[in-house]
Structure 1
């Protein structure tokens, strides 16, 4: 499955998983940033909120195409060099975004940045598997994916706060500065010589024939579609439905991310004992319950905030469990399957944000919750269908 330098294959270098996790924070902030400051982007660029939301939709389309494509093109590259170069592009892209003169320029910068940034999350998960013992692989991958939870828990509220008080350009500068720090740490702590199995056409065919892998990819797409029907426009929805101002919206984002962080911490602690299937089932149920409460409580700010807390417990945990289950389903194909999972994750984001944007532009605000519920309910049924088959002894 892998090749690595003699020293790196024996033990996980100190702070290497943390360096990978911090890179996921930067990746998460780069992907999610527009959601935290849609009103500021719309006002500053002279476009509507729906048009500003297309930064997420179009970005997700590029990400879903770029993830498997770049996995194929770069499968033979040294992971340290590959991940460091990706973080450097994300850093420069965010800094360039801060100086974009208009909407079209910002969109162009974002698409180029994310075309390269599509590499990071799947390759970080694969690298985590390379540097961790087999019995700790699940918890290490979950820890690395914790970066996405922290991006939502800390990064997105900070982006919302900076965007509303200092402007969207200052928010992009802050993400770029954080990216530079992450780049330095990863370059310093991640060992060289780490490589995964080469990805070729046979790899994709093998994945397509694996029933569990296909079901897991469907789960990812459905979960993300449901969430992004609401999440892309969460700030404007809270404003229109409850009158929440920028600070109140930022608080909800903080609750969402903090609970996401808590959920991943819990998932990381229980996954090695419970197994990834049962852990995934638990947190997807929480995800569904949160969206149901959001839908029922639409218009009442405290109820919607509680709903986001429940939803938050599930959002990042389900994603990290998907990574763990995919690695376990086909270990030799982990690099490709995780990159493909990231691709369908972004397909889900594109579908969800497009559907949510259509409903938002039609002022069908209440319908967003019901559509999101439908997606997540189907995802839950698909998880049940992916249940590992018990080993049955052959009958004499």
Structure 2
């Protein structure tokens, strides 16, 4: 990295803020499914397809765009991505129908798929090896804040001022984030070029493949419930929009707390043990949600436990992938983001199918099954020999 006038110590915060916008762009429909359904004259299950189809586009475009843009300056690339997200959200506020909203969302996310993996790769470039784990985890704090602050605000704005106003708010946040990133991120940052043989090398790396499986299982389980969390709370407990917003806030706040704790302990504990701890919390939260279905207070407590694990587990996955194959980090992190969205697509499609059939309790048990398989896969990924802190 060449010298820059702007101090790199500000750069992780700029990257983290961009992840807030990316997270809100991806998750926004989950916070206002009833409003979207009513405003567009569609069913809740159909509105949920905004997440399912969006996840499919994200999982395809994440590695593809990482390959096509690997030689680009990171500041220019990330700024352009945020610009597209900003314009996409602002445009979503003015589309006349469901087809237009879906088309614009898919176009926006096809480009937006770049941001999260490239932000993680950029975080690795601007941080020394000894603090790389905590820096990457900090950048991913943006996703926690998207859930902690962004999603409850989207739910509140959507229920009180309409879904179009919520999209305008996300677009405004994108514009602010774009300015901050352009101001703070150093120029001249470039990762290793991603060649076609890179994907073959990753496919032959047992640890990388196992880590990608873990991400897929964890996200599949969570999105069986998360996509329809608001409608599920309404149907199972009679929760209104404000109570649903409170649960989203609990989920995100605990996610924020979980990432803060993970960031503090990962450099000392190692990413494997940190990942195992928060994955156990994730499973425990989903289990309490499932067994406490029908009780608003129990389900809120469940979301608090689950929230501690949801973002921190993904942060640890990124850290472990960077350590498993450092020269291939840009590609492996983009693949992890890709399978993360595959998990979202699988989970939201399964959750939508169960919801449409009225099998509300079954969503929890399906989520538990995925989370248990993920835990078993994490145990199988235990390092064989003493390794560095980030292994």
TM-score when normalising by structure 2: 0.98
CA apart distance, 1:120 = 0.2
- Equivalent residues of 1:19, 1:189 under 8 A apart: yes
- Equivalent residues of 1:213, 1:326 under 8 A apart: yes
Count of matched residue pairs: 387
Structure 2 residue 167 is the aligned partner of structure 1 residue 172: yes
CA apart distance, 1:176 = 0.2
- Equivalent residues of 1:97, 1:109 under 8 A apart: yes
- Summarize the alignment of residues 98-247 of structure 1 with structure 2, pairs less than 5 Å apart: 98-247=93-242
Alignment-derived partner of residue 338 in structure 2: 343
CA apart distance, 1:6 = 3.4
- Equivalent residues of 1:126, 1:338 under 8 A apart: yes
CA apart distance, 1:390 = 1.2
Structure 2 runs not aligned, ≥5 long:
none
SS class of match (1:15): helix
- Equivalent residues of 1:359, 1:365 under 8 A apart: yes
CA apart distance, 1:391 = 5.1
Alignment-derived partner of residue 366 in structure 1: 361
State how far apart, in whole Å, the 2-side matches of 1:234 and 1:152 are: 13
CA apart distance, 1:258 = 0.2
State how far apart, in whole Å, the 2-side matches of 1:192 and 1:228 are: 36
Please point out which of 268, 278, 284 is paired with 1:289: 284
Structure 2 residue 48 is the aligned partner of structure 1 residue 67: no
State how far apart, in whole Å, the 2-side matches of 1:384 and 1:329 are: 16
Deviations 1:231-279 (A, max 9, x none): 0000000000000000000000000000000000000000000000000
- Equivalent residues of 1:63, 1:118 under 8 A apart: yes
Please point out which of 305, 314, 333 is paired with 2:300: 305
State how far apart, in whole Å, the 1-side matches of 2:9 and 2:273 are: 31
- Equivalent residues of 2:4, 2:187 under 8 A apart: no
CA apart distance, 1:14 = 3.5
SS class of match (2:8): coil
CA apart distance, 1:7 = 4.1
Runs of 4+ that moved beyond 2 A: none
Alignment-derived partner of residue 12 in structure 2: 17
Structure 2 residue 18 is the aligned partner of structure 1 residue 5: no
Deviations 1:314-350 (A, max 9, x none): 0000000000000000000000000000000000000
SS class of match (2:384): coil
CA apart distance, 1:5 = 1.8
- Equivalent residues of 2:202, 2:209 under 8 A apart: yes
CA apart distance, 1:15 = 1.7
State how far apart, in whole Å, the 1-side matches of 2:311 and 2:178 are: 23
- Equivalent residues of 1:216, 1:386 under 8 A apart: yes
Deviations 1:68-96 (A, max 9, x none): 00000000000000000000000000000
Alignment-derived partner of residue 89 in structure 1: 84
